[in-house]
Amino acid sequence: MIPELGHYALVLALALALIQSWSPAMGARKGDLALMKLADSTALAQFAFVAVAFAALTYCYVTSDFSVANVYENSHSQMPLIYKFTSVWGNHEGSMLLWVLILALFGALVAWFGVNLPATLKANVLAVQSWVASAFYLFILLTSNPFRRLAELPAEGRDLNPILQDFGLAVHPPMLYLGYVGFSMAFSFAVAALIEGHIDAAWARWVRPWTLLAWICLTLGIAMGSYWAYYELGWGGWWFWDPVENASLMPWLAGTALLHSAVVMEKRNSLKVWTILLAILTFSLSLIGTFLVRSGVLTSVHTFSNDPARGLFILVILMVFIGGSLALFAWRAPRLKQGGLFAPISRESALVFNNLFLATACATVFVGTLYPLLLEALTGDKISVGPPFFNLTFGPLFVPLLVAVPFGPLLAWKRGDLYGVAQRLLVACAVAMLGLATTFAFEGTKAVLAPFGIGLAFFVMAGAITDMVERIDLRSLSIETIGRRAAGLPRSAWGTTVAHFALGVTLLGIVCGTTWSSERIVALKPTQTVSLSGYDLSFDGMVTKEGSNYRETAAHFTVRTGGTVIGVMEPSKRVFPSRDGMSTTEAALLTRGVSQLYLSLGDSNADGSIALRLYYKPFVLLIWLGAVVMALGGALSLSDRRLRIGAPRPAARVMPQPAE
Amino acid sequence: MILWLIFGVMTLAAVFAVCWPLASRRKYVSSGTDVEVYRDQLDEIGRDESAGLIGSVEAEAARVEVSRRLIAAAESAKSASAAPAPSAAGSYRWATLMAAVLVLPLGASIIYLSLGSPNFVPVTMNAARDGSALPAGIEKTVAEVEAYLKNNPANGRGWEVLAPVYLRLGRFDDAVEARRKALELLGPNAARLGDLGEAIVLASNGVVTPEAKSLFERASATDANDVMAEYYLGLSAKQEGRRDEALKRWTALVSKAREGAPWLPLVKNALARIDDKAPTFAAPPSKAAIAQPSAGVTGPAGTSAPAVMTAPPGPNASQVAAAAQMAPAERNEMIEGMVSRLAQRMAENGSDVDGWLRLIRAYSVLGEREKALSAAANARAALAGNDDNLRRIGELAKELGLEG
């Protein structure tokens, strides 16, 4: 009964979405308040019904109801409880349901908190949001129905893909989807503005927090996915330029650009047209990111299933939404009024510079990802565009951007003084030079690019702090002054500093991790020892363990440095009988500060030895730590009170809040 | 019944969500205006100026820009409030109301009824298999035997008799205990070791656990020709990803088998599905299982959805589900329809050997021996020149008893 309730709730959500996609838009055109108001209650009801559907599917997974085909295909009664929850979205159908759940949630949030939005804008936004939702409800019901039943109740399910039986699945997809779907808000606002033919001043104030929220989630989602690939796939890489990874990177790049251009729009009313275009592009890239994986054109770890009908449906959805919104943009954008003026050297220009480079980097990734697919479709030639292409194009594009990062926040609005800013950055420059020289002194010419990379990372970090140091008057050395000034600064300024600093941290991790990573591949017998970068690992023997739904063979290692035991490592292989012997590699990680020892098992040989890959990855954790701190910077900025004017706030009382 | 009631309540809630705002007589909707935003922008210029983020000249220019917009916004707000309140868009309201009251419930029902399965009653494979074959009152007999064994726990023969009944009743854990005791009391031989192993496999949902594996290994060591041990050691190899070993063991079993051995189809089927990613159903080649072929493994005509189950790359799960939900007559029609489509395809393009194999098997399962024979003949004609394919056709014909 429960799955049928979920199924029907989804159908009702579709029906409501269809009404919501037409009536409020008509109400906005005719000025009928009741019709506009309708969007609020339908958006809330829609969310309630999708939540019922999602809860029903979750219930089926937790109780292992194998009469539901989706549960049978992706679950197992012996699976630990947490994976029963996560396997709800560890498959195509369930993940689509999660996608629409988040979409409906955002719609409901606008309906609930958007009391001080202009009524027509709100009605149009919710209508546009509903167009997207309707398409996806239809897609789910017709081609990917998670509530399909099996006539004969199987005794046992087919288990979740072992690679997905990991904590990573609990975090990575929901975060990523919150990011992708979050950008749908920016999209809906952009399309609504185009339909209305003018942009309200509140527009940017609304779009900015939503974009920020989506960006934070996407940042964390990508970082989590990267770390997951690092420890689960067993060969120590953290980014593979895999098409699917690129698909999540593209909306991130565009979203980062959108975030920055929205600042200009919010403060100065400039860059309106460009911001609207970016909002459309970012969500389009999110759609591509979600669906490239499922249309059958790509195959990778992320591919859940391929089906021609599904692929066609997806292509139609992509064409309608991306093509439609871009056409609308081409038609309506010329009518939008331009805003404030600015000089070539100014904060505004710095943000334009940032946007240009981010957009170009994004375009590079786009070409590198889609060109091979296109070529194969048209000519049948298979080419592979790998890391060399991206390292050669993406890298050089990011270097000027990173150099410019410290300059941006120091430039004044409207007209800036580049020379003055350069003078203020002298200290940061000195720090960078010091880093460069030290690396060069230790490493010589072995790794030519590393000293420059480290210098750049130090420059970004020091440059981010420079502004703060001046504004809180750190040199006054009076704790009282510093504290008072620090508390007085708007949180968005702190957010900028933290996020820019974190960018430097990530860069440092990338440079160190790739330059000084050392690796050994050996075959060891029990009691033998292997050494790498000052760590001695002795192989004590194999251990067999019985998991709830897998069998594990682990190699037990004792790690010593200079004779003292600092820990044990147990890399293992898990075999899943219910998946016919599919196996996963569980790498063992030993963290020392922000560096890691990484040990992964290979095959066992006839002579009783076992193949091993051992890596020492100095500073590698900085990569993800940087991303987390970056997201934290975003959160700080999001918590800035002043950004909430006209933005999510329960009460209707609007009082400009002076923050300083 | 309760289900339909809840459906009704949900539909009402959905209709209400649309109708309620239309019914409300409020003329005013709280909404923000640009004026507040511009005021705030003016304040912010002041803050930026004092923080040195904008030069004083530029700040003044910016103030002028924003003030101009502020005045324009204030004026348009005033003219908007002075204008008569917008009239209700009558026809659109009616259309929306109709959509909510008529189209929504109707459309939702149509979509749901064509996709959902409201009258769905799942059929448990085990229940269907066991219930029919066990004599009435079996539970009572079991209880009596259990009571007897409680007083005479050293009666190994009693445990040995009870164990298969437990298996048939689906009480796998009890079966494991019974066989463990029988093995303890009567001493090991290949059959008892294998029986215990099999019970363990069934109790762990078809997974050959390490304990079961070692039991089969012991059984195999006692009697190298023990079929059950060989079959399960093969299954264990397959589950652990050693496909080649499974292939070797099962092929050896088949080659050693005497003609017409009851377990032969099961092993052959396991061989045919060795590359399937789907889990192999652990139906054992023991007496209990052979007497009651499970629907999932091999089935003579008469068990549910036979043709689809025996043809390896058969129709997809939804078609199977649909077939099982139909009345028997309809089901046969659907299956025959699929078979005739396949036959037509093969007549048009006869180079697909797997298609021929499927077609011959399907005819044979449907009991149409004549058609199966002629399909085999057609296949031979179409595939002439390819010895490997001809051999496969021949093997299948022999297996199905179509010739020799």
B156-202 pLDDT, tens per residue? 888 887 888 787 777 788 888 888 888 888 888 888 888 888 888 87
Least confident stretch, A88-97, A402-411, B288-297, B394-403: B288-297
* pLDDT mean across residues, chain A: 83
* Residue A411: other Cβ atoms inside 10 A: 22
CATH architecture, domain defined by B153-277: Alpha Horseshoe (1.25)
Contact A37 B115 (CB under 8 A): no
> What's the confidence (pLDDT) of residue B335?
66
Residues A510 and A371 in one domain: no
User: CB B239 to CB A577 under 8 A?
Assistant: yes
Query: Tens of pLDDT along A514-539?
Result: 888 888 888 888 888 888 888 888 88
Chosen domain end from A165, A187, A211:
A165
Residues A479 and A558 in one domain: no
End-to-end CA distance of chain A: 57
pLDDT tens for A574-596 read 887 766 667 788 888 888 888 88
Listed by number, the residues of chain B in 257-296 with a beta carbon closer than 8 Å to a beta carbon of chain A are: 276-280, 295-296
CB B232 within 8 A of CB B194: yes
Judging contacts by C-beta atoms under 8 Å, the chain A residues touching residue B7 are 5, 8
Contact B116 A8 (CB under 8 A): yes
* Residue B256 φ/ψ, nearest 5 degrees: -80, -15
Mutate to test the interface with B, among A93, A150, A264, A604 (most CBs of B within 10 A): A150
Residues A313 and A431 in one domain: no
Shared domain for A507 and A524, answered yes or no, is no
Task: Decide if A69 and B24 are in contact by the 8 Å CB cutoff.
Answer: no
pLDDT at A659: 39
How sure is the predictor about B88, in pLDDT bands with cuts at 50, 70 and 90?
A: low
Of the candidates B188, B191, B231, B227, the one whose C-alpha atom is nearest the C-alpha of residue B213 is B231
ipTM > 0.90, yes or no: no
Instruction: Name the residue among A625, A509, A630 with its Cα closest to residue A255.
Output: A630
**Between B270 and A194, where is the model more confident?**
A194
In this prediction, residue A439 carries a pLDDT of 82
For residue A647, tell me if it sits in a domain.
no
What gap in Å lies between CA A612 and CA A604, rounded to an integer?
A: 9
Contacts of B334 in chain A (CB under 8 A): none
**Is residue A637 assigned to a domain?**
no
Closest chain A CA to residue B41: A267
Gap between the Cα atoms of B237 and A580, Å rounded: 9
pLDDT of residue B102: 86
Chain B, nearest residue to A153 by Cα: B124
Note whether A277 and A267 are within 8 A (CB). no
Higher confidence at residue A630 or residue B318? A630
How confident is the model at residue B317, as a pLDDT?
A: 45
Which of B29, B35, B320 to probe the A interface (max A CBs under 10 A)? B29
Nearest residue in chain A measured CA to CA from B28? A33
- Look at residues B215, B219, B188, B220 and name the one whose alpha carbon lies nearest to residue B199: B215
State the DSSP H helix or E strand holding residue B154, giving kind and residue range, or none if neither.
none
CB contact under 8 A, B31 and A117: yes
Q: Are residues A400 and A531 in the same domain?
A: no
Substitution target from A5, A38, A576 for chain B, most B beta carbons within 10 A: A38
CB contact under 8 A, A117 and B279: no
Do B22 and A652 count as a contact with CB atoms less than 8 A apart?
Answer: no
Residues 301-360, chain B, touching A (beta carbon < 8 A): 304, 317-318, 320-325
Q: Is A152 on the interface with B (CB under 8 A)?
A: yes
Query: Quick one: DSSP state of residue B402?
Result: S
Which residues in chain A have their CB less than 8 angstroms from residue B278's CB? Answer: 158
CB-nearest partner of A656 from B17, B21, B40: B40
Taking only residues 136 to 155 of chain B, the set having a beta carbon closer than 8 angstroms to any beta carbon of chain A reads: none
> Nearest-CA residue of chain A relative to B113?
A8
Q: Name which of A11, A413, A546 is nearest B54 (Cβ-Cβ).
A: A413
Same domain, A385 and A430: no
Instruction: Name the residue among A18, A145, A205 with its Cβ closest to that of B115.
Output: A145
- pLDDT score recorded for residue B312: 33
Report whether A152 contacts A126 (CB < 8 A). Answer: no
* B324 Cα to chain A: minimum distance (Å): 6
Q: With pLDDT > 90 as the criterion, what percentage of chain B qualifies?
A: 3
Q: Between chains, do A581 and B238 touch, taking CB under 8 Å as contact? A: yes
pLDDT at B329: 53
CB-based contact, B18 to chain A, within 8 Å: yes
- Using CB atoms, pick whichever of B30, B87, B295 lies closest to residue A152: B295
Residue contacts between A and B (CB atoms, under 8 Å)? 273
β-strand pairing of A518-524 with A582-586: unpaired
CATH domain B317-399 topology: 1.25.40
Closest CA to A86 of A103, A104, A74: A74
For residues A50 and A6, what is the distance between their CA atoms, to the nearest angstrom?
8
- The parent domain of residue A436 ranges over 425-516+625-632
**What is the number of structural domains in chain A?**
4
- Reported confidence tier of residue B80, pLDDT bands at 50, 70, 90: low
Contact state of A581 with B240 under an 8 Å Cβ cutoff: yes
The minimum CA-CA distance between B85 and chain A, rounded to whole Å, is: 9
Q: Do B317 and A150 touch (CB under 8 A)?
A: yes
Q: What pLDDT does B296 receive?
A: 34
Query: With an 8 Å Cβ cutoff, are B92 and A26 in contact?
Result: yes
Cβ contact B39–A656 (<8 Å): yes
Instruction: Compare all CA atoms of chain A with the CA of B321 and give the residue at the minimum distance.
Output: A151
Say if CB A593 and CB A618 are below 8 A apart. Answer: no
Phi, psi of B218 (to 5 degrees): -65, -40
Residue A658 lies in a domain: no
Amino acid of residue A399:
V
Which of B31, B38, B53 lies closest to A201 in CB terms? Answer: B38
Nearest residue in B to A645, CA atom: B37
**DSSP one-letter code for B214:** H
Stretches where chain A sits below pLDDT 70 are: 152, 155, 201, 234-236, 293-308, 338-340, 445, 578-581, 641-660
Q: How many CB atoms lie within 10 A of CB B137?
A: 8
- Distance, in Å, from the CA atom of B345 to the CA atom of B353, rounded to the nearest integer, reads 12
Tokens 């095959």 map to which residue? A603
SS (H, E, C) A46-60: HHHHHHHHHHHHHHH
Domain boundaries, chain B: 37-72, 153-277, 317-399
**pLDDT on residue B60:** 84
**Residue that wins the pLDDT comparison between A510 and B282:** A510
Element (H, E) at B124: strand B123-124
The answer to whether the Cβ–Cβ distance between B89 and A30 falls below 8 Å is: yes
Q: Please indicate if any CB of chain A lies within 8 Å of the CB of B84.
A: no
Question: Cα–Cα distance between B91 and A292 in angstroms, integer?
Answer: 42
**A291: three-class secondary structure by DSSP:** helix
Establish how many alpha carbons lie within 13 A of residue A175's alpha carbon, considering only the half-sphere containing its beta carbon.
Answer: 21
For residue range B253-262, list pLDDT tens digits in order. Answer: 888 777 767 7
Contact B47 A67 (CB under 8 A): no
Contact residues, chain B, for A270 at CB < 8 Å = none
Query: Considering only residues 60 to 79 of chain A, which have any Cβ-Cβ distance to chain B shorter than 8 Å?
Result: 67, 69, 77-78
Considering chain B, what is the average pLDDT of its residues? 73
Contact residues on chain B for A347, CB-CB shorter than 8 A? 53
Chain A interface, best mutation among B19, B24, B56, B58, by max A CB count within 10 A: B58
Residue B92 main-chain phi, psi, to 5 deg: -65, -40
Contact yes or no for A37 and B112 at CB 8 A: no
pLDDT of amino acid A339: 67
Mean pLDDT of the B15-30 span: 74
What pLDDT score does B202 carry? Answer: 79
- Tell if the CB–CB gap between B10 and A19 is shorter than 8 Å: no
Whether A202 has its CB under 8 Å from any CB of chain B: the answer is yes
Give start and end residues of each alpha helix (H) in A31-118.
33-62, 69-74, 81-86, 92-113
Q: Which of A1, A5, A8 to mutate to test the interface with B (most CBs of B within 10 A)?
A: A8
Pick from A31, A38, A155: CB nearest B125: A155
Say yes or no: do domains B153-277 and B317-399 share a fold.
yes
- Verify that A599 and A511 share a domain, yes or no: no
Q: Which residues contact B171 (CB under 8 A, 6 or more apart)?
A: none
* Distance of alpha carbon B367 from alpha carbon B194, whole angstroms: 35
Helix (H) or strand (E) holding A600: strand A595-604
Cβ atoms of B45 and B62 closer than 8 Å: yes
Task: Please check whether residue A104 touches B, CB under 8 A.
Answer: no
Q: What is the mean pLDDT of residues B205-230?
A: 84
